[in-house]
């Protein structure tokens, strides 16, 4: 969370300058639940900032997170130049992302979208701009962004293959130098390459192991009690993956069966990106970690969860029964002895 008077664009600028790169402004898509029954979800585009290195490669994106609310002055007036774009269909916002300029002001940013529908933008006295189709049906709205929404900042790294501690440490050092703090609802999400998990047998092992130890893992890593959009998998997932029919499926069939369960990403461990074959984010996501401003606890947790996924991915002839206690789990995982000692000590001291 940026300090009052500052914004996530400042952090993107510091990171890009440290590495000799540039900053690009872009539209960041998010979903927001609504109190209205007719439209339970509003699709949003908010302003994000991508820091790149001198070769133009993405270092990280600095984006809004609509779940961060408690630390903001919701009565604050919009900061000049900050707005969001709202629609009730994510496909309409894809058109915005393809045809509209995120550096344009709110008054004109949706003009290209209006042209696609053969209409003109409709400015409102509030500063909002509305786009309708030729029948007058609403298409999208651009609106100034009040309530200090320029302050929340989720740092989304590019995929990291080596020097994890150095990369994460550099980004968090930038945040500390800019005076950023931890938001009340903050969390750290770890994404792991899903390619090794494309197997009914492996997914069944993941559901068994993470389901068995889910609550103990949350206590072990110190999940933030104020974090939102967490929760267990639906019971139907374990029922499916425990079945002999599922075990005999090839991966396309298994993925199809999983897709019929209506899984959500808003849970402790997100399988949806695997099931949906999201090519932009083909990952298994761990969502239970608290937020941190130093890299060490993030890297330590990454080691633990990577080892769990490796245990689940072992060849069938190496598989053993799932350990029944968190201490036994830590002892069984393929980790360096120092990591085993660290997590065994924390497991022993973890509340029950």
- Interval 255-295: pLDDT, tens: 999 999 999 999 999 999 999 988 888 999 999 999 999 99
pLDDT for res 316: 73
Percent of the chain with pLDDT over 90: 90
Task: Determine the Cα–Cα distance for residues 179 and 157; give it in Å rounded to an integer.
Answer: 20
Give the pLDDT confidence of 20-51 residue by residue, as tens digits: 999 999 999 998 765 555 555 678 999 999 99
Over the chain, what is the mean pLDDT? 94
Strand partners, 47: 27
pTM summary value:
0.93
Q: Taking Cα atoms as reference points, which of 3, 1, 11 lies closest to residue 60?
A: 11
Lookup result for tokens 């969860």? 305
pLDDT for res 43: 87
pLDDT for res 195: 94
**Domain extents for the chain?**
8-144, 186-349
Cβ count within 10 A of residue 348: 10
Parts of the chain with a pLDDT under 70: 33-41, 317, 319
pLDDT for res 280: 84
pLDDT for res 39: 55
Q: Taking Cα atoms as reference points, which of 232, 182, 183, 185 lies closest to residue 211?
A: 232
Per 3-state DSSP, the chain is made up of helix, strand and coil in percentages (nearest 5) of 35, 20, 45
Which residues fall within 8 angstroms of residue 122, CB to CB, at 6 or more apart? 129, 130, 131, 132
């Amino acid at each position: 969370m940026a300090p009052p008077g500052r914004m996530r664009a400042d952090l993107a600028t510091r990171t890009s300058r440290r590495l000799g790169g540039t900053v690009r402004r872009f539209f960041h898509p998010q979903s927001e639940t609504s109190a209205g029954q007719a439209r339970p979800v509003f699709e949003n585009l908010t302003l994000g900032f991508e820091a790149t290195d001198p070769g133009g490669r993405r270092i990280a994106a600095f984006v809004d997170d609509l779940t961060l609310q408690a630390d903001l002055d919701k009565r604050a007036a919009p900061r000049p130049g900050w707005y969001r774009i709202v629609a009730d269909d994510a496909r309409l916002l894809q058109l915005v992302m393809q045809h509209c300029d995120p550096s344009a002001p709110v008054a004109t940013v949706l003009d290209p979208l209006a042209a696609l529908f053969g209409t003109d933008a409709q400015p409102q006295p509030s500063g909002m701009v509305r786009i309708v189709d030729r029948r007058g049906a609403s298409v999208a709205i651009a609106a100034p962004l009040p309530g200090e929404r320029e302050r929340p900042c989720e740092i989304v790294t590019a995929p990291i293959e080596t020097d994890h501690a150095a990369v994460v440490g550099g980004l968090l050092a930038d945040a500390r130098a800019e005076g950023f703090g931890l938001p009340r609802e903050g969390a750290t999400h770890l994404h792991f390459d899903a390619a090794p998990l494309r197997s009914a047998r492996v997914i069944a092992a993941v559901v068994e192991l993470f389901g068995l130890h889910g609550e103990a893992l949350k206590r072990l890593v110190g999940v933030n009690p104020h974090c939102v959009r967490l929760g267990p998998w639906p019971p139907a997932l374990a029922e499916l993956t425990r079945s002999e029919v599922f075990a005999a499926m090839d991966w396309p069939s298994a993925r199809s069966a999983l897709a019929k369960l209506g899984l959500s990403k808003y849970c402790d461990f997100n399988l949806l990106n695997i099931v949906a074959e999201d090519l932009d984010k083909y990952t298994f996501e761990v969502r239970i970690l608290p937020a941190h401003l130093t890299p060490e606890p993030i890297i330590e947790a990454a080691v633990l969860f990577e080892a769990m996924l490796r245990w689940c991915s072992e060849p069938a002839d190496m598989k053993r029964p799932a350990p029944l206690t968190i201490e036994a789990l830590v002892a069984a995982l393929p980790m360096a002895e120092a990591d085993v000692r660290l997590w065994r000590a924390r497991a022993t001291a973890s509340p029950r």
